[in-house]
Amino acid sequence: MKLTKHTDYALRILIYSALQPEERLLSIQEVTDVYELSRNHVMKIVQKLGQEGYLTTIRGKGGGFHLGRKPEDINLGELICKLEPSMRLVNCEEPVCRISTSCRLQSILSEAMNSFTAVLSSYSLADLIDNPKELSNLLAISA
Amino acid sequence: MKLTKHTDYALRILIYSALQPEERLLSIQEVTDVYELSRNHVMKIVQKLGQEGYLTTIRGKGGGFHLGRKPEDINLGELICKLEPSMRLVNCEEPVCRISTSCRLQSILSEAMNSFTAVLSSYSLADLIDNPKELSNLLAISA
């Protein structure tokens, strides 16, 4: 079981964004450089995070992006559910499983996933940056 | 988030095995046919389930396999943890993340995963076959 790289990088980007002075504009290049990620990945992720309102993006020359909500208003359970392509742990249709109409596995897995997301939903992005000095040092963000 | 196909198919195979008359020997071919899976996948999964003691495998001519423990003794939490290559949802080393030494994400994800596996651990393979007539019909297993 893994989160997608897309979700993993989105979390890294949101942490970096949340540690910035309020409304400081970031560029794709800056985030690409700081985490040594592929520019193509970062572009797609920033676009997605913008669509979902987690980042505010400003187009054109002098544009960029900044965190779109307060860190404490970015719920980790909701965020991960929005970023992951699917939270269904098995796909009974691919290949189609002949017992799927009577199988109890999906309901047991759903119960376990509900418990998983309930824990995540008790945390927000603010909990991921509750040690801002250490993180800012590691990311070379000046105070 | 997804379980691997390997784990998904292993569950299908264990369900089929658990519905058989006790100690009836199954063949790779029978399971391959019943679920329309690739023979190669089924061979690897049966081997792994044998190594872990979930199936008893008997080699040679007239050989085959049957369930290695009672369904109620096959805990779903333990099973899934053994079958999945990793239960670490993000890999901070690939590509290496510069905040990994101070990042709280892993501990929050671990807490959520513990809650996930705790739910699964309250179920066993017996719970997946508590409607044996329906399942046997779908799998064309004669009583």
- CATH value of B5-138 in 1.20.1740.10, 2.40.50.140, 1.10.10.10, 3.40.50.300: 1.10.10.10
Chain B residues touching residue A36 (CB < 8 angstroms): 95
On whether any CB of chain A is under 8 Å from the CB of B81, the answer is no
**Mutate which of B106, B119, B123, B129 to test chain A, going by most A C-beta atoms within 10 A?**
B119
Which structure tokens are listed for B117? 């596996």
Residue ranges covered by each domain of chain B: 5-138
Which residue, among B79, B1, B87, has the nearest Cα to B45 in the 3D structure? B79
Q: For residue B121, what is the nearest residue in chain A, using CA coordinates?
A: A112
Place of tokens 């391959």: B32
Average pLDDT, chain B: 95
User: DSSP 3-state assignment of B52?
Assistant: coil
| pLDDT of A61 | 87
On whether any CB of chain A is under 8 Å from the CB of B58, the answer is no
What element of type H or E holds B15?
A: helix B5-18
A54 has pLDDT over 80? yes
pLDDT tens by residue, A56-113: 999 988 899 999 999 999 999 999 999 999 999 999 998 899 999 999 999 999 999 9
- DSSP label at B97? P
A118 has pLDDT over 80? yes
On whether any CB of chain B is under 8 Å from the CB of A126, the answer is no
Among the partner residues A12, A117, A127, nearest to B104 by beta-carbon distance: A127
Asked if A135 lies within 8 A of B99 by C-beta distance, the reply is yes
pTM: 0.92
